[in-house]
Amino acid sequence: MNDLAGKHVVLGLSGGIACYKAAELCRALIKAGASVQVVMTEAAAQFITPVTMQALSNRPVYTSQWDVREHNNMAHINLSREADAILIAPCSADFIARLLHGRADDLLSLLCLARPIAQVPLLIAPAMNREMWAHPATQRNLAQLQADGATLLGVGSGFQACGETGDGRMLEPQELLEDVIAFFQPQRLAGQQVLITAGPTYEAIDPVRGITNLSSGKMGFAIARAAREAGAQVTLVAGPVGLPTPRGVTRVDVRSARDMFEAVMQHAQAAALFVATAAVADWRPASAAAQKIKKDGTGQCPSMAFTENPDILASVAQSPRAQSGALFCVGFAAESHDLLAHASAKRARKGVPLLVGNIGPATFGQDDNALLLVDEHGAHELPRASKLELARQLIANIADRIRAAA
Ligand code: C5P
């Protein structure tokens, strides 16, 4: 993925043991297509060498405001003017305090102060001991820094280098990468509540067997990530899949179609958008056996009666909020052939303004897909691409529809 293609990031390291993670972060930013200029404080150089960071970024590292390599001897101006963003990772408690006071006696704090504040965003990934993190001075400083326009990327929780356990760890490089990528995405759904279903459902036959399907959940998880990147508050109701939860997304794990129905009905109350990506089982065994069904040696197979599951999408689409236009509903159709005809029929049957068709065998478990968007006017194809790329295009398309309908 080239999510950061064309972006130039100044990666600032202040002093802290989390500097060791900055090496991997630098690599991850570059792999995502960014160019990275590393700037280190004197304290950071106690934890990791500029040589390491130079090798990883493929650029000489800056550590001093008196660096004579710049023709005008103004590294703080030059470096801050060419950046699309400045990311301080790790950002120590002391560096936070320095930023807050507008200190300018080392290169990194100087270039943060000198940055054109409206054009060059400042992203902060704090890293410190849990007591330092919880201290009112740190929390007060962070609140003021955010009020001054900085973006706080949060901290992780867990075992700390000092031996204590708690909040204040720097986020992992992959988490920071996701946050930086999200930061550059257009905020098309800022502040909106979005509800998404994903994955298969599992309908129990007995305590050890059940009926499920091959849905991997990848498309729904990609849509959840794309909606969150677009600024939405996202709830993802997921059937049994082992995928990691996208950053910043609230996940509700369910098993059966009825569990999914209940979770969706509860969360649909506040949502402005519902995207039903889940491959919900149409039927479930009429009654699950309390104990494992055993072979009895006669060669007779057990017979099984089925009951139809509730149609989650159709139920939400019929709710007063959806009917009034307060909740925009999108359905999915996984077909094996005649995609347009089946998707159009399904759109009408479900009573939704937009239905997204895809070919089931070509999408289940895959990392890429192709989508056919079917609405009252006709169809529009999103050609084969990664599921995340398609999810971003779909979210952009839906955001336009919501805006047009408002
Ligand atoms: O009826 P069918 O399963 O073909 O419809 C697919 C669409 O309806 C998907 O958006 C799916 O998530 C949704 N659906 C649902 N509840 C069901 C069956 C399907 O929400 N019981």
Q: Are residues 127 and 95 located together in one domain of the fold?
A: yes
pLDDT of residue 364: 82
Give CA–CA dist 226/232, Å, rounded. Answer: 9
pLDDT of residue 361: 82
- Write down which residue in 149, 184, 219 finishes a domain: 184
Contact 153, 11 (CB under 8 A): no
Q: Are residues 159 and 200 located together in one domain of the fold?
A: no
Q: Which of 26, 91, 162, 301 is catalytic?
A: 162
And the tokens for 255? 């098993």
Looking at the domain assignment, is residue 123 inside a domain? yes
Which residue in the block uniquely carries the two structure tokens 């079917």?
374
Is residue 23 in contact with ligand 1, taking CB distance under 6 Å?
Answer: no
Q: Are residues 106 and 248 located together in one domain of the fold?
A: no
Q: Can you spell out the DSSP letters for 320-380?
A: HHHHTTSSEEEEEEEESS-HHHHHHHHHHHHT-SEEEEEEHHHHTT-SEEEEEEEETTEEE
- Helix spans in 170-303 (H): 173-183, 218-229, 257-267
Parent domain of 143 = 8-184
Is residue 203 in contact with ligand 1, taking CB distance under 6 Å?
Answer: no
Regarding beta strands 151-152 and 165-169, do their DSSP bridges make them parallel or antiparallel, or are they unpaired? Answer: unpaired
Q: Is 162 a catalytic site residue?
A: yes
Q: Are residues 164 and 270 located together in one domain of the fold?
A: no
- How many angstroms does the Cα of residue 356 sit away from the middle of ligand 1? 11
Looking at the domain assignment, is residue 121 inside a domain? yes
Q: Are residues 281 and 375 located together in one domain of the fold?
A: yes
Looking at the domain assignment, is residue 299 inside a domain? no
Is residue 333 in contact with ligand 1, taking CB distance under 6 Å?
Answer: yes
Q: Are residues 246 and 178 located together in one domain of the fold?
A: no
Contact 329, 376 (CB under 8 A): no
| CATH code, domain with 373 | 3.40.50.10300
Which residue in the block uniquely carries the two structure tokens 């998707």?
343
Residue in 115, 99, 121 with CA at minimum distance from that of residue 14:
99
And the tokens for 198? 């994903």
Q: Are residues 118 and 232 located together in one domain of the fold?
A: no
The protein residue with its alpha carbon nearest to ligand 1, atom 9, reads 332
Asked whether the CA dihedral 179, 184, 186, 191 is positive or negative, the reply is: positive
Q: Are residues 178 and 238 located together in one domain of the fold?
A: no
- Write down which residue in 151, 184, 217 finishes a domain: 184
- Write down which residue in 149, 167, 184 finishes a domain: 184
Q: Are residues 83 and 170 located together in one domain of the fold?
A: yes
Q: Are residues 23 and 163 located together in one domain of the fold?
A: yes
| CATH code, domain with 147 | 3.40.50.1950
Residue in 77, 94, 72, 168 with CA at minimum distance from that of residue 127:
168
Q: Are residues 177 and 267 located together in one domain of the fold?
A: no
- How many angstroms does the Cα of residue 277 sit away from the middle of ligand 1? 8
Probe target for ligand 1 pocket from 221, 267, 312, with the most ligand atoms within 8 Å of CB? 312
Q: How far is CA 124 from CA 90, 258, 402, in A?
A: 8, 42, 33
Indicate the number of domains in the chain: 2
Q: Are residues 31 and 176 located together in one domain of the fold?
A: yes
**Tens digit of pLDDT per residue, the chain (406 long)?**
799 999 999 999 999 999 999 999 999 999 999 999 999 999 999 999 999 999 999 999 999 999 999 989 999 999 999 999 999 999 999 999 999 999 999 999 999 999 999 999 999 999 999 999 999 999 999 999 999 999 999 999 999 898 999 999 999 999 999 999 999 999 999 999 999 999 999 999 999 999 999 899 999 999 999 999 999 999 999 999 999 999 999 999 999 999 999 999 999 999 999 999 999 999 999 999 999 999 888 989 989 999 999 999 999 999 999 999 999 999 999 998 999 999 999 999 999 999 999 988 888 888 999 999 999 999 999 999 999 999 999 999 999 999 998 8
Looking at the domain assignment, is residue 300 inside a domain? no
pTM (2 d.p.): 0.93
Is residue 280 in contact with ligand 1, taking CB distance under 6 Å?
Answer: yes
